[in-house]
A and B are shown apart, each in its own frame.
Chain A
Amino acid sequence: MKNFKKVLALLLAAIFVVGILAACSGNGGGQQGGGEQGSEEQGGGEQQTTPEEGGEQGGAETTLKVGLICLHDENSTYDLNFINAFKQVCSELGLVEGESYFIKVNKGENEECYQAACELVDSGCSIIFADSFGHEDYMLQAAIENPDVQFCHATGTKAHTENVANYHNAFASIYEGRYLAGIAAGMKINAMIEEGKITPEQTKMGYVGAYPYAEVKSGYTSFYLGAKSVCPTVTMLVTFTNSWYDETLEKTGAQTLIDQGCVLISQHADSMGAPTACEAAGVPNVSYNGSTISAAPNTFIVSSRIDWAPYYRYAIDCVKNGQPIDVDYVGTLETGSVCLTEVNEAVAAPGTVEAIEAAKAEMQAGTLHVFDTANFTKGGETLTSYLADVDDMGDFAPETEVISDGYFHESEYRSAPYFDIDIDGITILGE
């Protein structure tokens, strides 16, 4: 027992030494002498001190630092899509995670986002991206307070009305990608009729949406129109989860739609809920944000997604070269921002790839418009005029005429979608 005590004493001594070392090196990295007690006065005293970037890196002033703020982490397909693109562009530029690029995950749509943005500014970032719609007000606030740093907010709507020079919005013409994915869905349904699996009267698709918001409505309408272009009898049932990420709700939502007789499911929500529900029920699924083939090898057809890499490349280049960044950036098929994953030939109807390529070529040639007013009706009528609430001032008052030349001009007057018409053929569950 005496030996035991000695060993224990030695061990404790060793632990203390390690502990003290840890504490010392820890304080060295932060502000000098910043013990727990002294921190409060210190914060007040050094309020104007600039961050310590220069001192630490010495000659490496030319190193650009960039940051990304995400609502969730890589378990969300939506955030993963941003994170992957961001990491890809950063590694192309030779940036290193934790040194010259930073990703802040699980930042809520409140003060957390503002704080994350400020901390990225303090880390020396000269351009900061955020990925969630609800981050907008907090990014804007940080942009106003930090005029030397560029703030780029994906999916937001306020840049073109707020006139804050260092605040920018970005989106992509993803409705084109969804339309193409819709073609794959329509062809699958046609194939199912031919195989005798369903009758032509059962051509009902289901769609799990996040919020009844223009971004989602524009998405599911373009998906529906794509399917309708090859399968004219198709109808669609939509359910909302009222959350961007809720695996359980998305799963039960998809299941409800399947129980209601939907023969194919697509979704605009960010978890694996809908794809896994489809796989379990053996119902084909058209995905979003990226391939879900690993979770649903027997039901996954294709997925449309926005590739954010072209935007990141563009915006970071602008900062490097001292050029202004677009107030509203819209990525397109040409820029490579709108893309489809590989088609899962095992599930998709034969000829899907060719049909998608043909439609894509037409879109790029300008001969095919997704929201062509000849292809949809509202209340049985073809629309010739529609006012959309493009300048999102919180007044809920539509002011911009968006139908001309026979089609609805989506994502032209601002980057974020504003198509919010409930067209015929689409029913919202419970309405």
Chain B
Amino acid sequence: MNSAVKVPLVHITRRKNIVWYRAWIVRVVAVIMALILCGIVTMLLVGANPIDVYKTMVVGNFGTARKIWFMLQDLAILLIISLALAPAFRMRFWNLGGDGQALMGCLGATTIMILFRDSMPNWLLIICMLLAALFGGALWAFIPAFFKSKWNTNETLFTLMMNYVATQLVAYFVVFWENPKGSSKIGIINQRTQLGWLPTIGGNKYILIIIVAVLLTVGMFVYMRYSKHGYEISVVGESEPTARYVGIKVRKVIIRTLILSGAICGLAGFLLVSGTDHTMTTTLVGGRGFTGVMVAWLAKFNPFFMVITSFVLVFLGRGASEISTMFGLNDSFGAILTGIILFFIIGCEFFLNYELHFRHGKNKEVQ
């Protein structure tokens, strides 16, 4: 230790390339380590058998046919919102307004559903609801995009704040259409007539939503990978000056992409209102606009990987809820386990991007 140059204990360098299968081994190991830590935490805090806990998580998702459908529906909605966010993020536009955009979709669909239920045939009503939802979502994304492209406002804050505006708007209209008076809830809309409800396929209201999610996944993959728009998005994301240099109209790309992003969020809102819940509440989207950010990032904006990451998150969420029911625990315990697992999953991305070098031991890498 007499050397003149002070070597830090650990120094971090960027990893150049990692073979895909090694990357996946690291991820799998991370998940397994997370599960082991969860097991230890479970035993220490609750005294339950961790294997039973994991079993309960699986049962919570796959226990019965009905549970599988619920899980797939949950997965589909989360995936759609994540897909909506992906192009914006690829463009390095931090759209944190997925919740608000989806809520505006809900509001658009609900408005048409309530105001025009008696004045047009059901198929037309559903189409109008869809258009209103797409418009609502797109509008909520267009506003921050417009300000960003015109005055370079901070889109992170802007989109975040738009969530609160949307929540308050929905709260206002919930009171406006409340039933019964004073209760601040709308309840199931058109429960008797089922006007504005998406048709069921074989008595199952989830299949259609799942089909939409599958189509959208493929569509988004093609759009981002093979279309001119997709190319422009990635160039703008890499470097705005470059994009400008090669003649891409950056402002136009930003606005166009955000309108798309918001409209797809609006679609998710439409599916919630027309497809499953048939009501509107301020918590209907349930933070999926934020969970979707994680889904999209973890999958590096690849729509097919997003299917996997959104499955992981939905699995953890539903599993956690099942744990709390079966073991008589608070929901928070499930949240702790989910937190541990996500910590490892996100943490391992660090080791995939960077290498650690320790001072002694001749630059031995850790992972």
Contacts and interface: CB of A to CB of B under 8 A. Distances in A.
Interface of A: 1, 12, 15-16, 18-19, 21-22, 25-31, 34, 36, 39-40, 42-43, 46-47, 49, 51-52, 73-74, 97-98, 102-106, 108-111, 115, 118-119, 122, 133-134, 136-138, 140-141, 157, 211-214, 216-217, 242, 389, 392, 394, 396, 420
A213 B184 contact: yes
Given A27-B58, A39-B68, A105-B330, A22 B35 contact: yes
Interface stretch (B14-22, B145-153, B233-241, B274-282): B274-282
B32 A26 contact: no
Interface in B34-80: 35-36, 50-51, 54-59, 61-70, 72
Interface stretch (B83-91, B185-193, B257-265): B185-193
A40 to B, nearest CB: 7
Given A104-B321, A105-B331, A242-B184, 17 more contacts: A16-B32, A27-B58, A29-B63, A30-B58, A36-B311, A42-B68, A43-B68, A98-B326, A105-B324, A110-B281, A115-B70, A118-B70, A119-B67, A137-B279, A213-B184, A394-B179, A396-B180
By secondary structure, the B interface counts as helix
21 contacts: A15-B29, A22-B50, A22-B54, A26-B54, A30-B58, A30-B62, A40-B68, A97-B328, A103-B325, A105-B324, A111-B277, A119-B64, A119-B66, A122-B66, A137-B191, A137-B279, A211-B184, A213-B183, A216-B182, A392-B180, A420-B182
Contacts of B58: 26-27, 29-30, 34
Contacts of B59: 26, 29-30
B51 A22 contact: yes
Contacts of B29: 12, 15
Contacts of B50: 22
B65 A46 contact: yes
Contacts of A104: 321, 325
Nearest to B330: A73
A130 to B, nearest CB: 14
Interface in B193-210: 204, 210
Contacts of B210: 40
A105 B326 CA distance: 11
Interface string B136-154: 0000000000000000000
Contact of A26 (B55, B187, B277, B286): B55
B54 A213 contact: no
A168 to B, nearest CB: 18
Contacts of A97: 327-328
B326 A137 contact: no
Contacts of A103: 325, 328
A43 B182 contact: no
B180 A122 contact: no
Contact of A30 (B63, B276, B331): B63
A26 B64 contact: no
A74 B332 CA distance: 11
Contacts, number: 151
A129 to B, nearest CB: 14
Given A15-B32, A212-B182, A49 B279 contact: no
B361 interface: yes
Nearest to A34: B62
Nearest to A389: B180
A49 B59 CA distance: 16
B69 A1 contact: no
Contact of B65 (A36, A47, A111, A214): A47
Contacts of B228: none
Given A98-B328, A122-B67, A134-B185, A29 B36 contact: no
By Cβ-Cβ distance, the 10 closest A-B pairs, closest first, are A213-B182, A43-B68, A26-B58, A137-B188, A97-B328, A111-B277, A30-B62, A98-B326, A212-B182, A134-B185
B279 A110 contact: yes
Given A15-B33, A104-B325, A394 B65 contact: no
B26 to A, nearest CB: 12
A67 to B, nearest CB: 9
Contacts of A51: 64
Interface string B274-296: 00110101011010000000000
B102 to A, nearest CB: 14
Contacts of A19: 32, 35
Interface in B83-109: none
Given A73-B331, A109-B185, A137-B188, A25 B180 contact: no
